[in-house]
Amino acid sequence: MRAPRAATPEVTPSKTKLPKVKSSKATPSRKGSKLATNRAKPQSLADAQPVFPFTAILGQEEMKRALLLNAVNPNIRGILVLGHRGTAKSTSIRALADVLPPIEFVDECPYRCPPEKPAGLCDTCVHAKPRAKLPTLVGRVPVVDLPLGATEDRLCGTLDIERALSQGQKAFEPGLLAKANRGFLYIDEVNLLEDHLVDVLLDSAAGGINIVEREGISIAHPAKFTLIGSGNPEEGELRPQLLDRFGLMAEIRTIADIDTRIDIVKRRLAFERDPAGFRADYEPAQKELRARLVSARDRLDRVEVPDAALRFIAKLCVTLDVDGHRGEITLLNAALANAAFEGRSQVTLDDIRAVATLSLRHRLRKDPLDRTDGGEKIRWALEKLEEEANSTTLVRGDTR
């Protein structure tokens, strides 16, 4: 008799399996000579819903620029959006994911592992079969919502109770961090998030790995995501530990211009009446923006950073009494992304100026007696240092 094999923890995808649509290397279908498309079907009801075009969003330029910079350079590590309700925060985030180029991932992998990169692959994909033969799908960049009432098990993953009861096996049921891998994790009203969930997010965001140790299961899986939070500062402040982990911070306000408000209502009404037709009208602009993002990503590693730019960034952070060095690192990554997006070959003073407020606003020391806006302080420091920079080699104009 064959000795029974000991049950071992294993990772299983969700019950709703992805449609087995082959990649561009697929063989012809049995029903005809047409090759199966490599674009995956929507994997949830949310994915199937039409998305408002990113290029159709009016106003909120600071928020839109911050989102685009994160799309170009993920090393910026997220964005925090604070402001009034109903100002297109969640709409912009989902619209960004829609305009991004689709990603290729391993079929039925719960973590959407990329087939071409060995680093970061989950245990399932590493040990399944040679990577060149893994069936793949192409789909939209995931945007995962983290509800305020979510439990730690829902966020991190836990034991698959149904599998354990029906088959007597210890199996891992992936959580929201697994679904957000290679995508965006969006937290609305992030300032109201429970502290124990904040701690989990800090650990995963820092290392890009989610480690689960519970119910006899020990597993680690990739959890590299862009953290995006939004909230109203009037409803409570954010924990300093989490605030510092957001690379950029954008402040948005309700638009007061009457004509712009009218145009916003008109566009929304047109989208609700005919989503397909509205999206078709903006498809040329969407394609242009998508091509610009792809070009910026390709250019990013070739953008040069002059020593004068590094010195300017360091002086700016010292002038503003920014604690730690995360401010310089984030400001540099954002300036690199801005230069790449604008088609420049090196970081200029214009790039630093464009992202300084976004990168440092939430890192300034707070004085309860000083009511000066953080953005104003940064602008004053920039003006002071720009006068000194006139005699340096830091370039101001375009360098294409």
Q: What is the DSSP letter of 395?
A: -
Q: What is the pLDDT of residue 11?
A: 42
Render pLDDT for 215-264 as a digit per residue (tens, 0 to 9).
677 888 888 898 998 888 777 778 777 888 899 999 888 898 999 999 99
C-alpha distance from residue 27 to each of 130, 133, 170 (Å): 18, 13, 36
- Catalytic (active-site) positions: 326
The burial of 339, by beta-carbon neighbours within 10 Å (0-12 exposed, 13-18 middle, 19 or more buried), is given as buried
Fold of 307-389: Helicase, Ruva Protein; domain 3 (1.10.8)
Q: What is the pLDDT of residue 366?
A: 75
**How sure is the predictor about 55, in pLDDT bands with cuts at 50, 70 and 90?**
very high
**How sure is the predictor about 360, in pLDDT bands with cuts at 50, 70 and 90?**
very high
Average pLDDT over residues 196-220: 81
Q: What is the mean pLDDT of the chain?
A: 81
44-102+140-252 domain in CATH 3.40.960.10? no
Residues paired with 11 in a beta bridge: 172
Find the DSSP H helices in the chain: 45-48, 61-72, 89-99, 123-128, 152-156, 161-167, 176-179, 195-207, 240-243, 258-273, 275-281, 283-300, 307-319, 326-341, 349-360, 374-389
Nearest to 131 by CA among 230, 25, 18, 251: 25
Sheet arrangement for strand 79-83? 143-145, 184-188, 226-231, 79-83, 248-252
**How sure is the predictor about 123, in pLDDT bands with cuts at 50, 70 and 90?**
confident
CA distance 399 to 303: 10
Domain ranges of the chain: 44-102+140-252, 307-389
Give the end-to-end CA distance of the chain in Å, rounded to a whole number.
73
Q: What is the DSSP letter of 59?
A: S
* Confidence (pTM): 0.81
CA distance 223 to 225: 6
C-alpha distance from residue 251 to each of 114, 213, 323, 359 (Å): 34, 38, 21, 12
How many other CB atoms are found less than 10 A from the CB of residue 241? 12
CA distance 110 to 11: 8
Q: What is the pLDDT of residue 129?
A: 62
CA angle 63, 86, 47 (to 5 degrees): 75
| Residue length of the chain | 400
**How sure is the predictor about 174, in pLDDT bands with cuts at 50, 70 and 90?**
confident
Is the Cα torsion angle 371, 376, 382, 384 positive or negative in sign? negative
